[in-house]
């Protein structure tokens, strides 16, 4: 029998073949390989998003008795004080944390190209990325401790402050029994005028022995001096019941070394001096007939630093810890962009007479714009989800002031048992992230078409 082709008929139709991808893999096989990932994606991403969206329209009763609440939970996003504070703080985070981290990363990346030990510096700056948020939160909770003996930030701050304004050594000092001193505007003044040739005793109490000035020595009763006012200011206290003499220096009592003493007549200071290590002091004849005043400067409380975790500074303080962690991430990405930058453009700008600042501002930064965009967008998405640092660093007394949306979601869902509002916050966070992701995807596609 002659074939259809030999008889002039149409050629026999070829058997259908499975279409292949550009890599030569059959689509059926590709789908089978992707199936586990798609199942996981659906179970871990799509289903939770869908469930949260549905749950956000129900009240907080939970279980099968949940009542449809409409948009009440979303209305709470703009009426609840805690959520409004969290939203305000999230705006601060989105504006400042990515900007500061990227700026520092850019500066580090540019400067480390010019030094030999740039690689070692990059390693040190990037190292915090290896630390978990939990560990970083614990570290900075200690760094920001109010006590300068514990908190590094306040230890440095107090050290700098005390370099220019020495703290008083006698903040708790006050007149003892039968003392000739009386209160006077934060300080103390003698009840009666003093005269030359008659030693004055200024006994005080209230300073713990271990807090006395390091140069304090055994107190000595001052002797009379012709034409001068002399006296002693000391700690009139000896441990032990019935031990020591009241109003006179004892062997174990120390002088108030460095205590400021002023002679005042008619409201004006006519002479001033400081007590020696043994508490003795001498004033010139001009002090005759004056009142002796111990000014308030002697009794100022020691400077205790800044309340980093107080309501006013807690959010900037937590942002500082975030920048410490993520500036290294920004630096590494920007350094990679610098490595691929055409150097001839930089050299051409220098040959044309541009200084280093102009080269940086008009050549380096524009060429790094795509990389900087990636870093900023990535950090923006990251800070919208920040939770660990705020939860750990901010103490309970100021956690409300440092609140962010992710922390408020946790509070509403677990501490306050309001899953409907918590789901609404989760959906709101997703809506905030989507525009940033859409912008990033568009930018990446635009870069790919070039």
> 5-21 pLDDT, tens per residue?
444 555 555 555 555 55
Q: Which residue has the higher pLDDT, 162 or 397?
A: 397
DSSP string, 31-76: HHHHHHHHHHHIIIIIHHHHHHHHHTTB-S--GGGPPB-TTHHHHH
Residue 321 has pLDDT above 90, yes or no: yes
The whole-model pTM stands at 0.75
Predicted confidence (pLDDT) per residue in 238-288, tens digit: 876 656 788 888 888 999 999 999 999 988 999 999 999 999 999 999 999
Name the burial class of residue 25, with classes exposed (0-12), middle (13-18) and buried (19+) by CB atoms within 10 angstroms of its CB.
Answer: exposed
Strand order in the sheet with 174-175: 174-175, 200-205, 229-235, 280-283
How far lies 365's CA from each of 96, 345, 370, in Å? 19, 12, 10
Per-residue confidence (pLDDT) for residue 439, from 0 to 100:
81
How many Å apart are CA 212 and CA 205, to the nearest integer? 11
Find the range with the poorest average confidence among 126-130, 167-171, 215-219, 242-246.
Answer: 242-246
Find the range with the poorest average confidence among 19-33, 372-386, 430-444.
Answer: 19-33
Task: Report the candidate in 216, 210, 189 with the shortest Cα–Cα distance to residue 200.
Answer: 189
Confidence of residue 233 (pLDDT cuts 50, 70, 90): very high
SS3 234: strand
What does the pLDDT average to over 428-437?
88
**Tokens encoding 29:** 């096989």
Strand order in the sheet with 291-294: 181-184, 187-190, 291-294, 260-265, 268-274
Confidence of residue 3 (pLDDT cuts 50, 70, 90): very low
Residue 302 DSSP label = P
**Do 277 and 218 form a contact (C-beta atoms < 8 A)?**
no
How far lies 422's CA from each of 52, 310, 391, in Å? 9, 27, 17
| Element holding 184 (H helix, E strand) | strand 181-184
């Amino acid at each position: 029998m002659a074939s259809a082709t030999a008889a002039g008929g149409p050629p026999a139709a070829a058997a259908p073949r499975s279409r292949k991808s550009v890599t030569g893999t059959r689509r059926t096989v590709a789908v089978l390989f992707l199936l586990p990932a798609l199942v996981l994606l659906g179970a871990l991403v799509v289903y939770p998003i869908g469930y949260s969206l549905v749950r956000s329209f129900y009240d907080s009763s939970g279980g099968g008795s949940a009542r449809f609440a409409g948009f009440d939970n979303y209305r709470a996003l703009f009426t609840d004080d805690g959520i409004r504070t969290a939203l305000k703080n999230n705006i601060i985070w989105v504006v400042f944390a990515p900007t500061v981290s990227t700026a520092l990363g850019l500066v580090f990346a540019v400067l480390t190209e010019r030094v030999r030990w740039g690689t070692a510096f990059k390693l040190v700056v990037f190292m915090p990325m290896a630390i978990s948020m939990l560990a970083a939160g614990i570290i900075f909770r200690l760094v920001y401790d109010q006590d300068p003996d514990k908190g590094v930030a306040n230890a440095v701050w107090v050290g700098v402050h005390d370099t220019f304004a020495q703290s008083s050594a006698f903040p708790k000092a006050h007149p003892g029994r039968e003392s000739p001193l009386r209160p006077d505007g934060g300080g103390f003044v003698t009840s009666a005028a003093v005269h030359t040739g008659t030693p004055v005793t200024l006994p005080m109490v209230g300073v713990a022995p271990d807090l006395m000035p390091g140069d304090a020595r055994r107190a000595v009763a001052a002797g009379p001096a012709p034409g001068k006012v002399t006296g002693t200011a000391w700690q009139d206290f000896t441990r032990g019941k019935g031990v020591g003499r009241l109003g006179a220096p004892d062997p174990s009592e120390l002088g108030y070394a460095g205590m400021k003493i002023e002679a005042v007549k008619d409201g004006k200071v006519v002479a001033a001096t400081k007590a020696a290590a043994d508490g003795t002091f001498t004033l010139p004849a001009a002090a005759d007939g004056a009142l002796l005043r111990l000014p308030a400067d002697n009794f100022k409380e020691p400077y205790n630093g800044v309340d980093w975790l107080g309501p006013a500074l807690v959010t900037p303080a937590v942002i500082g810890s975030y920048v410490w962690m993520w500036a290294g991430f920004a630096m590494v990405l920007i350094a990679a962009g610098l490595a691929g930058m055409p150097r001839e453009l930089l050299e051409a700008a220098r040959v044309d007479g541009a200084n280093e600042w102009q080269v940086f501002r008009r050549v380096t930064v524009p060429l790094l714009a795509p990389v900087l965009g990636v870093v900023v967008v990535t950090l923006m998405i990251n800070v919208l989800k920040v939770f660990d640092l705020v939860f750990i660093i901010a103490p309970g007394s100021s956690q409300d002031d440092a609140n962010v949306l992710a922390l408020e979601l946790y509070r509403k869902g677990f501490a306050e048992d309001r899953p409907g509002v918590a789901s609404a916050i989760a959906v709101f966070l997703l809506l905030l992230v989507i525009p940033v992701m859409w912008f990033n995807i568009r930018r990446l596609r635009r870069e790919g078409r070039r």
